[in-house]
Chain A
Amino acid sequence: MKKILLAEDNSMLSLLLKFRLEKEGYELLIAENGKESIALIEEHSPALILTDIMMPFISGLEVISHVRNTLFAKTPIIVFSASGQEEVVLKAFKLGANDFMSKPFSPNELMNRVQRILR
């Protein structure tokens, strides 16, 4: 079973995505902040990382930077950003993110992208 890490501080959104992804046969690891997600990434090396950019303590950007520059991992990363954060998204891409979705996003659309990446 492929593992996916979701770093997101809205518990209800996490729950919604968890149901959906588990139905599709993935194992979802949920982190509520950047620090937790780094710990989970190091422990489980997931096949895909979904991360919000604005998170307490360690931002999504730093998570990306950690994955690419410290762990030297090529794990695909999709970032979530609030709308109007084009600059931050650009930064995320510069750091090595693979895709982004701006909130509010459609969970169906997210599923499509996840499946495309993990196929």
Chain B
Amino acid sequence: MVVFNYFIELFEKSDLIIEFVWFLIAMLLFLVITIIIYLKYLRSTLRRNEKSKNKLEKEFETAIITYLYAGDPDSKEISSDQLLIIEGLKKGTSKSYRKDILIATMLKLGYEISGEMAESIDKLYIQTGLKEYSLSKLKNKKWNLIAEGIRELTLFEVKEVQHLVKEHLNHPKSEVRSEMQLYLVNLFHFKGLDFLNEIKTPISEWDQIQLLEVLQLYKTQEISDISSWLKSSNESVVFFSLKLAKIYNQYGVKEELIALLQHPNVNVRVEAIHIISHLDIIEAKNELKTNFNTLDLEEQIAFFAMIEETYELADKPFILDNILNPNFEIKYSALKILKELSLDEFNSFKDLSLDPQFIKIINFVESN
């Protein structure tokens, strides 16, 4: 008690600043206690949610699988057993978080299977009213919900809402644009790529890879005409069509590809050389060879990769010019080609330099 009184006295006598600090302490203490209570609440809610989510998932999983096997194999119609399941699912998903779980469960399978069963899952999506739910997300103000809605429409192949999805062509958030592009390409394949004519925003590398992967699901070598995209003022569209040219061996766009060798962006030029090499467009070779010394290093390296595939005896003087090239990769490439072109000359040039790097390459090329 004495101690306590001492402190009270002290407090009364103390300066303004110390009073303020004590006030701060009280505040902090209050905050700490509140936040601990919140943590407790948060953890139990999370645990409860997770439990009920797992339970729901299991329920939905069984329901979906039963639904899939309850169909009549000979008819396209929905069987009465299936109708029962649909009604059950509808009742069970009045709340939106339950709808989200059902969608996630259906997708878990949707990613892995195709054919009749996949179609039957798409049908289930429409029958349970989830399509309206996804569509309602498109009208939401939150961009992440719009993106989510588009994604669901994509995965359950709802083709007829194209116009609603396309409204987001130039949405300020890249995530929404990316989902929109995936929708078009997933459902309309090469025709879906028409958005490339209009798009003003850059398409990231990540999105490009996704789009190409989707396209590759459809085993076709017939693709749209890419020549206008190769001339696009949107550089990412150029990069994308270069990738298309490579994957789908587009010999038809030879001239456009050669024209890209003059593109202001060095990365475009390098990529163009790679594709030209991949497609064996010999016409470009002489031009590149003549201008070799004016090219950027990256282009030179890319060109040597091309020469490695297409060398002929006439290239020998050019190769000999480069066996002492200061760049390791070019030097290595030149020596490798020289050995193939003429072993005698390779042997006569192998003591040309005492540079250890040169000797290392010589030894390696000799024994391989």
Q: Which residues of A contact B (CB under 8 A)?
A: 10-13, 15-16, 19-20, 23, 83-84, 103-109
Among A13, A15, A16, A84, max chain B CB count under 10 A is at A16
Given contacts A10-B108, A83-B216, A84-B213, whether A15 and B65 have CB atoms under 8 Å apart is yes
Q: Per DSSP, are chain B's interface residues mostly helix, strand or loop, or mixed?
A: helix
The reply to whether A106 and B65 contact each other, CB–CB distance below 8 Å, is no
Interface 1/0 per residue, B47-81 and A, CB below 8 Å: 00000000000000100110011000000000000
Q: Does B114 contact A (CB under 8 A)?
A: yes
User: Which of A12, A20, A23 is B108 in contact with, Cβ under 8 Å?
Assistant: A12
The reply to whether A104 and B113 contact each other, CB–CB distance below 8 Å, is yes
Q: Does B227 contact A (CB under 8 A)?
A: no
7 contacts between A and B (CB under 8 A): A12-B64, A12-B65, A103-B111, A104-B118, A106-B114, A106-B115, A108-B115
Given contacts A83-B216, A103-B112, whether A15 and B61 have CB atoms under 8 Å apart is yes
User: Which of B105, B109, B114, B217 is A13 in contact with, Cβ under 8 Å?
Assistant: B109
How far apart are the CA atoms of A63 and B18 in the complex, in Å?
A: 71
Q: Does B116 contact A (CB under 8 A)?
A: yes
How far apart are the CA atoms of A19 and B108 in the complex, in Å?
A: 17
The reply to whether B112 and A13 contact each other, CB–CB distance below 8 Å, is yes
Q: Does B117 contact A (CB under 8 A)?
A: yes
User: Which of A23, A84, A106 is B113 in contact with, Cβ under 8 Å?
Assistant: A106
User: Which of A12, A23, A84, A105 is B105 in contact with, Cβ under 8 Å?
Assistant: A12
Q: How many A-B residue pairs have CB under 8 A?
A: 55
How far apart are the CA atoms of A23 and B73 in the complex, in Å?
A: 15
Given contacts A16-B68, A19-B69, A84-B216, whether A105 and B114 have CB atoms under 8 Å apart is yes
How far apart are the CA atoms of A13 and B109 in the complex, in Å?
A: 6
The reply to whether B118 and A83 contact each other, CB–CB distance below 8 Å, is no
How far apart are the CA atoms of A98 and B202 in the complex, in Å?
A: 44
The reply to whether B115 and A12 contact each other, CB–CB distance below 8 Å, is no
**B202 nearest CB across to chain A (Å):** 24
| CB closest residue in chain A, given B106 | A12
Interface 1/0 per residue, B208-243 and A, CB below 8 Å: 000001001100000000000000000000000000
B80-137: which residues lie under 8 A (CB-CB) from chain A? 105, 108-118
Given contacts A15-B65, A106-B118, whether A10 and B112 have CB atoms under 8 Å apart is yes
User: Which of B65, B105, B114 is A19 in contact with, Cβ under 8 Å?
Assistant: B65
User: Which of B108, B117, B217 is A106 in contact with, Cβ under 8 Å?
Assistant: B117
How far apart are the CA atoms of A3 and B160 in the complex, in Å?
A: 45
| CB closest residue in chain A, given B216 | A84
CB contacts (< 8 Å) of B109 on chain A: these are 10, 12-13, 16
The reply to whether A13 and B216 contact each other, CB–CB distance below 8 Å, is no
How far apart are the CA atoms of A94 and B113 in the complex, in Å?
A: 26
Among B64, B115, B118, max chain A CB count under 10 A is at B115
User: Which of B65, B105, B213 is A16 in contact with, Cβ under 8 Å?
Assistant: B65
CB contacts (< 8 Å) of A107 on chain B: these are 113, 115, 117
How far apart are the CA atoms of A70 and B115 in the complex, in Å?
A: 37
**A111 nearest CB across to chain B (Å):** 11
How far apart are the CA atoms of A23 and B66 in the complex, in Å?
A: 13
How far apart are the CA atoms of A104 and B214 in the complex, in Å?
A: 12
The reply to whether B116 and A83 contact each other, CB–CB distance below 8 Å, is no
CB contacts (< 8 Å) of B65 on chain A: these are 12, 15-16, 19
The reply to whether B118 and A12 contact each other, CB–CB distance below 8 Å, is no
Interface 1/0 per residue, B136-167 and A, CB below 8 Å: 00000000000000000000000000000000
CB contacts (< 8 Å) of B112 on chain A: these are 10, 13, 103-105
| CB closest residue in chain A, given B117 | A107
**B117 nearest CB across to chain A (Å):** 5
| CB closest residue in chain A, given B69 | A19
CB contacts (< 8 Å) of B115 on chain A: these are 105-109
How far apart are the CA atoms of A20 and B69 in the complex, in Å?
A: 8
| CB closest residue in chain A, given B111 | A104
| CB closest residue in chain A, given B213 | A84
CB contacts (< 8 Å) of B64 on chain A: these are 12
| CB closest residue in chain A, given B218 | A83
**Which 4 pairs from chain A and chain B are nearest by CB?**
A106-B115, A104-B114, A13-B112, A12-B108
How far apart are the CA atoms of A11 and B60 in the complex, in Å?
A: 13
How far apart are the CA atoms of A14 and B352 in the complex, in Å?
A: 65
How far apart are the CA atoms of A15 and B65 in the complex, in Å?
A: 8
How far apart are the CA atoms of A109 and B115 in the complex, in Å?
A: 9
| CB closest residue in chain A, given B114 | A104
**B213 nearest CB across to chain A (Å):** 6
Given contacts A106-B118, A108-B116, whether A12 and B213 have CB atoms under 8 Å apart is no
